[in-house]
Amino acid sequence: MKQSLQAAWERQRGIWLFNVRGDLIAGAVVALALIPEAIAFSLVAGLDPRVGLYASFTMAVVIAFAGGRPGMISAATGAMALLVVDLVADHGLQYLLVATILTGLIQIGFAWAKLARYMMFIPRTVLVGFVNALAILIFLSQVHYLTDGGPTMWIMVGIGLALLYTLPHLPGYPRLLPAPLVVIVALTAVVWWQGIGALQVGDMGDLPDGLPVFLLPDVPWTLETLQIVAPTSLALAVVGLLESLLTASIVDDLTDTPSGKNAESQGQGIANIVTGFFGGMASCAMLGQSMINIQSGGLGRLSTLAAGIYLLFFILVLGDLVAMIPMAALVAVMIMVAIATFDWGSLKTLHRLPRTDATVLVVTVATVVYTHDLSMGVLAGVILSAVFFARKMAKAIQITSELSADGAKRIYHVSGQLFFVAVDKFIDSFDYREPIHHVVIDLRDVSLWDSSAVDAIDKVVGNFRRRGMEVEVLRPAGTSGELHDRLALHDKEGMALGGGH
C-alpha cells in the first residue's frame, strides 16, 4: 500500500511539479494578458465583462485537471464570442448559460465517439495556414489600439517591443524571468509615476468584485428552450473542439511532447459545463495565450492552473493595480506573440510547394482573415485539399490492353484506384466499336472504393454486350472483390445493366 501511494505521488509530482518556477511565472504573464482579452470578447458578445472573466477563470482551472494537453491555455475566445452574438441579443444571458452547458455535453459526446482521431484528415498545409491566419488575426486585433491611441500609444508600444526583443539578450539577464512580465510591470510603473494619460485595462470595463457562484440558469427547462439553444451549442462545440485540437497539435510540435486528444475533448466539455453553471460563456483553447505560456516557460498543468488562479487574484485582490496596466504593454506583448506565431519559413518554401498545396495554404489564410472565423478557414482548406486529392486520384487509374494472336479477343488490364472521380476516365478508356468477339476485363489489380466504381464496371460490360460481344470480368480480390460481388449486376442472371457513357 505504501509503495503504491509513493508511486502515485511520484507520478503526480512528475505531472504537476516538474517545472514549478517556470509554470508559476508563466501563469502570471498569461493571466495579465487574459484580462483585457476576456473583457473585449465579452463586449463583442454583448455581455458584461464579468462573464468573460469568470469563464476564463473556470476554464483554466478545470482544464488544468481534466484536459489532455499540459501547458495549453483555455479561456474566453473571439471565435466563440462571435457565435453567441445573436443568441445573447435575442434571448439574453440565461439562455447563453444553457447553451454553454449543452456545448459541454456535446463535446463530451464527441470525446466518447473518439472524433479527435479525425484530426488526421487535416493536412499540414491547412495546419500551417491556421497558424499563420491566427497570427494575422492576433496582430489585426491590436491595430485599432494603435490607430485610435495616438503618439503616446505608439511610443509606449515601440518601447515595449524594443524591451521584449532586447532584454533576453542582455548580459546577466535572468533567463527564468519572462520579458513580457518585466515589460508589463515597467510600463505600468512609468505610467503611474509620470501620470501619463494612457489607455488602461480599467478603461475596458468594470472588473468583478466577487467570486463566481454556482447557479442554475433562470430559464424554462422545456423542449422549446432546447430548440433555441441547440443550433448555437452545436456550432460552439464544433468550433471550440476544432480550435482546441488544432492548438493542441501545435503545442505538441512546439514542446515535442504528445497529448491525449480525446482526453482534451472530454476536458473541454467538462470545463464548459462547469463554466455554464458559474456564469461564464462557452470557451476553448487559445493559441495566442498558449504561445505566451510556452514562451514564458510554462510547460505543465500547473501553468494553466496558475493562470486561472492568478486571474481571479489579480481582478479581486489587485484589481486597482491591474486596472492601471497600460494597454500599450499588452499590445506590445500580443504583437510579439503574433510575430512568433507566424510560420515565417512557410513564406520561403511557398514557391517550392506543389501548386495545390500552396493554393490550400493561401486559401486557408485568406478565408480566416476575411471571415475572422478560424473554423471556416480550416473547413475551406480541408475541402479544397479533398478536391485536389480526388482529382489526383482520378488520374491514378491505368488501363492497358492487348489483342490475341487470332484478333478475336481483347484483354484489358486495369490497375489503380477506382472510385467516383475516376469513373468517366475508366468508362471512356475502352473501345466499344472494335470488331472483336470476346473481351476480358482484368480487375485483379484494382481497388474499388464505392458503388460508383461497381456501377462503372456494369456500364462497361453493358456497352460491350449490347454490341454482341462476350465479356469476361476477372474480379479483384479482398474487400474490393466483396464489394464487387455484392453490388455488381453484370454477373447476376436476369439483372438489367445501365448503359451509355
Please identify which residue in the block is written with the cell numbers 463530451: 108
Question: For 117-152, how does the pLDDT look when each residue is reduced to its tens digit (9 = 90+)?
Answer: 777 677 888 888 888 887 888 788 888 888 888 888
Residue 224 has pLDDT above 90, yes or no: yes
Per the listing, cell 430559464 goes with 219
C-alpha cell at 356: 495545390
The cell for 136 is: 494575422
Once rounded to an integer, what is the mean pLDDT over residues 47-55?
89
Question: Is residue 1's pLDDT more than 80?
Answer: no
Contact 179, 164 (CB under 8 A): yes
Residues whose CB is less than 8 angstroms from the CB of residue 48 and which lie 6 or more positions away in sequence, other chains included:
42, 93, 205
Helix (H) or strand (E) holding 274: helix 261-277
* pLDDT for the residue numbered 176: 65
Say if residues 484 and 452 touch (Cβ distance below 8 Å).
no
pLDDT, tens digit (0-9, with 9 covering 90-100), for 149-170: 888 899 999 999 999 899 888 8
b/e map 17-39, b = 16+ CB within 10 Å = eebeebbbbbbbbbbbbbbbbbb
pLDDT tens figures, 175-186: 767 788 888 889
pLDDT at 355 over 50: yes
Does residue 217 sit in helix, strand or coil? coil
Choose the most confident range, by mean pLDDT, from 87-101, 324-338, 348-362, 367-381: 87-101
> Look-up: residue for cell 512528475?
14
pLDDT for residue 76 is more than 60: yes
Please tell me the predicted confidence (pLDDT) of residue 14: 78
SS (H, E, C) 390-408: HHHHHCCCEEEEEECCCCC
Q: DSSP labels for 431-453? A: -TTS--SEEEEEEEEEEE-SHHH
Q: Which pLDDT score is estimated for 501? A: 44
Mean pLDDT calculated for residue range 454-480: 92
Which of 75-89, 385-399, 413-427 is predicted most confidently? 413-427
Amino acid 448 reads L
What is the three-state SS of 224-269? Answer: HHHHHHHHHHHHHHHHHHHHHHHHHHHHHHHHCCCCCHHHHHHHHH
The backbone torsions φ and ψ at residue 279, rounded to the nearest 5 degrees and listed phi first, read 80, 25
pLDDT at 287 over 90: no
Could you report how far apart the first and last alpha carbons of the chain are, in Å?
Answer: 74
Q: What is the pLDDT of residue 333?
A: 83
202-220: average pLDDT: 86
Averaged pLDDT, 193-205: 82
pLDDT of residue 458: 92
Mean residue pLDDT of the chain comes to: 88
Q: Which pLDDT score is estimated for 39? A: 83
DSSP 200: B
At residue 102, does pLDDT exceed 90? yes
Dihedrals φ, ψ of 448, to 5°? -95, 130
SS3 (DSSP) at 67: coil
What pLDDT is attached to residue 500? 47
Q: What is the DSSP string of 116-154?
A: GGGGGGS-HHHHHHHHHHHHHHHHHHHHHHHHHHHHHHH
Percent of the chain with pLDDT over 70: 97
pLDDT at 238 over 60: yes
DSSP 8-state symbol, 199? -
What residue has cell string 470480368? 473
Distances in Å between the alpha carbon of 446 and those of 397, 399, 443, 476? Answer: 8, 10, 5, 6
